[in-house]
């Protein structure tokens, strides 16, 4: 084992002038392009993570390499192709934009904090961004997962990647980790504002369906708080919107494999609702902070089709938080709280601050 060398150090020297505080916004990751070879690389990395699939390695290896990586890449590539934009994968586009905007929103609140983004799987990797931040003088880093609800399959996996990076670093920056923000008032309010805006434009459907990404049911029995955190987010959102219990439903999507996942499942629920006579439904995905394959393709395309086929008339998909000003403001306030006690003025570069203000103002209202 060898640790990365550090820059020369002289006794008594003042701290490096470039010593900074930084935030690393970490999201799941996405393939480089919507092709089968790119999907194979992405899925191989993602599905080899023991946090994601908890099947003993020798058995899972056979299934993954013998079956899944032979079939799924082509199918998934076609799905990605249907949502790909000129700027690339929506998940990456939104995450990148959120990082730029968060820096601007923190800037106008007086915090000169560097904000970068990283992907747990694919590029830019968490290790490469931490290397870069350290090279750029970051001495304090807040790890901010893009997941409001804690799950061992996502949040803990981001932390694993940070710990693995740190394990090869001689002089580790100060690190802080955000576990979750499923009940943060700003997050709930930003979600509620998305729904209200949608209602103002399109009217209110008979039912609001809140669809969260699923996880295997056994993780709940093993103590993962994800299910409870989703339920709490849903309850708080419903309360904010003044919705009675009979006007909304909470479901779980994106089931993978044959095991039981958290229930009720999104698509069967939509079919059941349509068959029971529900004609219109609003669908929101509160667990996803940016639109991605799971929302734009699985919900806005596949689930819509299933609902309409089963007799529903109106399926209205409500976009994710994306670049919502309320969301970025909430994230800035929340991040500022997490940075408490850390200097955030150490390297105020007026030109960079002005540039981030302009970026925030261009991308959305910076208040
Ligand atoms: C195999 C098990 C999976 C678990 C457990 C899982 C949990 C989980 N995932 C997200 C968020 C996202 N997942 C996305 C895509 C995606 N998820 C899985 C599998 C599991 N997810 C796969 C195989 C894929 C890839 C697409 C496919 O082939 O079906 C995405 C979208 C990524 C994108 O590029 O747009 C997100 C986001 C959460 C929040 C979660 C547990 C709480
Ligand atoms: Fe997933
Ligand atoms: Fe629960």
Pocket flag, ligand 1, residue 295 (CB < 6 Å): no
Same domain, 189 and 84: no
Give the lowest-confidence range in 159-173, 224-238, 268-282, 334-348: 334-348
Same domain, 152 and 255: no
User: Is the separation of the CB atoms in 285 and 300 below 8 Å?
Assistant: no
Same domain, 117 and 218: no
Judge whether 81 lies within some domain. Answer: yes
Same domain, 274 and 342: no
- Name which residue sits closest to atom 38 of ligand 1, judged by CA: 213
**Separation of 276 CA from ligand 1 center, angstroms?**
30
CATH value at residue 331: 3.40.50.1400
Same domain, 83 and 62: yes
pLDDT at 262: 98
The answer on pLDDT for 241 being more than 80 is yes
pLDDT at 206: 98
Pocket flag, ligand 1, residue 53 (CB < 6 Å): yes
Mean pLDDT of 334-348: 83
The answer on pLDDT for 141 being more than 50 is yes
Closest Cα partner for 178 from 197, 196, 154, 207?
Answer: 154
The answer on pLDDT for 353 being more than 80 is no
Closest Cα partner for 192 from 365, 360, 327?
Answer: 327
pLDDT > 90 fraction of the chain, expressed in percent and rounded: 88
Count of domains for the chain: 2
Counting atoms of ligand 1 from 1, which one is nearest the CA of 257?
1
The answer on pLDDT for 364 being more than 90 is no
User: Is the separation of the CB atoms in 296 and 185 below 8 Å?
Assistant: no
pLDDT at 348: 47
Same domain, 88 and 126: yes
ipTM (interface pTM): 0.97
Pocket flag, ligand 1, residue 76 (CB < 6 Å): yes
**Separation of 54 CA from ligand 1 center, angstroms?**
15
Q: Which domain holds residue 174?
A: 20-181+325-363
**Separation of 213 CA from ligand 1 center, angstroms?**
8
Same domain, 102 and 239: no
d(CA 154, CA 166): 19
Pocket flag, ligand 1, residue 30 (CB < 6 Å): yes
pLDDT at 13: 53
Mean pLDDT of 267-271: 98
Which ligand lies nearest to the CA atom of residue 228 in the structure? 3
Same domain, 224 and 293: yes
Q: How much is the mean pLDDT over the chain?
A: 93
**Separation of 150 CA from ligand 3 center, angstroms?**
12
CA distances from 91 to 14, 55, 83, 164, 203 (A): 41, 27, 10, 24, 28
Mean pLDDT of 26-49: 98
Pocket flag, ligand 1, residue 92 (CB < 6 Å): no
**Separation of 84 CA from ligand 1 center, angstroms?**
17
Pocket flag, ligand 1, residue 287 (CB < 6 Å): yes
Backbone angles phi, psi at 146, to 5 degrees: -80, 15
- Which of the four pLDDT bands, split at 50, 70 and 90, describes residue 2? confident
Helix axes of 36-47 and 69-81: crossing angle, nearest 10 degrees: 120
The answer on pLDDT for 361 being more than 80 is no
The answer to whether 213 is a known ligand-binding residue is yes
- Name which residue sits closest to atom 15 of ligand 1, judged by CA: 294
Judge whether 13 lies within some domain. Answer: no
Same domain, 44 and 101: yes
The answer on pLDDT for 299 being more than 70 is yes
- Name which residue sits closest to atom 3 of ligand 1, judged by CA: 52
The answer on pLDDT for 295 being more than 60 is yes
For 360, the enclosing helix (H) or strand (E) is: helix 350-363
Judge whether 10 lies within some domain. Answer: no
pLDDT at 345: 74
The answer to whether 294 is a known ligand-binding residue is yes
pLDDT at 19: 73
∠ CA(181), CA(324), CA(128), 5° rounding? 65
Same domain, 196 and 231: yes
Mean pLDDT of 168-182: 98
The answer on pLDDT for 306 being more than 70 is yes
Pocket flag, ligand 1, residue 288 (CB < 6 Å): yes
Q: Candidates 52, 253, 260, 294: which one to mutate for ligand 1, based on the most atoms within 8 Å of Cβ?
A: 294
Counting atoms of ligand 1 from 1, which one is nearest the CA of 147?
39
Judge whether 5 lies within some domain. Answer: no
pLDDT at 183: 98
Same domain, 194 and 176: no
**Separation of 35 CA from ligand 2 center, angstroms?**
18
pLDDT > 70 fraction of the chain, expressed in percent and rounded: 91
**Separation of 154 CA from ligand 1 center, angstroms?**
9
Judge whether 105 lies within some domain. Answer: yes
Judge whether 4 lies within some domain. Answer: no
Mean pLDDT of 164-181: 98
Judge whether 14 lies within some domain. Answer: no
- Which of the four pLDDT bands, split at 50, 70 and 90, describes residue 354? low
Judge whether 101 lies within some domain. Answer: yes
Same domain, 258 and 346: no
pLDDT at 18: 58
CA distances from 310 to 267, 278, 298, 303 (A): 11, 10, 17, 11
Mean pLDDT of 111-116: 96
- Which of the four pLDDT bands, split at 50, 70 and 90, describes residue 352? low
Mean pLDDT of 197-202: 97
């Amino acid at each position: 084992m060898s640790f990365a060398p550090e820059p020369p150090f002289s006794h008594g020297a003042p701290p490096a002038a470039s010593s900074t505080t930084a935030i690393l916004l970490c999201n799941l990751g996405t393939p480089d392009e919507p092709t089968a070879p790119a999907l194979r690389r992405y899925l191989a990395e993602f599905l080899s993570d023991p946090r994601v699939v908890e099947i003993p390695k020798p058995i899972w290896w056979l299934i993954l390499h013998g079956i899944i990586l032979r079939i799924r890449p082509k199918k998934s590539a076609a799905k990605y192709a249907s949502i790909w934009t000129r700027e690339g994968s929506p998940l990456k586009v939104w995450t990148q934009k959120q990082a730029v905007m968060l820096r601007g929103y923190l800037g106008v609140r007086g915090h000169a904090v560097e904000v970068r983004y990283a992907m747990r799987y694919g590029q830019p990797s968490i290790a490469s961004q931490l290397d870069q931040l350290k090279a750029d003088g970051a001495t304090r880093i807040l790890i901010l997962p893009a997941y409001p609800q804690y799950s061992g399959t996502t949040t803990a996996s981001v932390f694993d990647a940070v710990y693995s990076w740190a394990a090869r670093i001689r002089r580790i920056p100060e690190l802080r980790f955000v576990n979750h923000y499923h009940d943060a008032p700003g997050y709930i309010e930003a979600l509620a504002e998305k729904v209200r805006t949608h209602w103002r434009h399109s009217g209110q459907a008979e039912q609001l369906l809140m669809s969260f990404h699923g996880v295997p049911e056994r993780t709940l029995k093993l103590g993962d708080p994800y299910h409870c955190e989703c339920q709490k987010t849903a309850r708080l959102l419903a309360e904010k919107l003044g919705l009675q219990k009979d006007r909304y439903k909470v479901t779980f999507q994106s089931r993978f494999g044959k095991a039981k996942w958290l229930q009720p499942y999104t698509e069967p629920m939509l079919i059941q609702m349509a068959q029971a006579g529900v004609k219109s439904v609003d669908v929101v995905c509160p667990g996803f902070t940016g639109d991605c394959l799971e929302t734009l393709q699985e919900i806005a395309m596949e689930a819509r089709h299933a609902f309409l086929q089963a007799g529903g008339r109106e399926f209205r998909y409500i976009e994710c938080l994306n670049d919502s000003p309320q969301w970025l403001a909430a994230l800035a306030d929340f991040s500022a709280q997490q940075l408490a006690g850390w200097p955030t003025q150490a390297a105020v570069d007026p030109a960079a601050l002005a540039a981030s203000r302009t970026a925030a103002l261009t991308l959305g209202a910076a208040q």
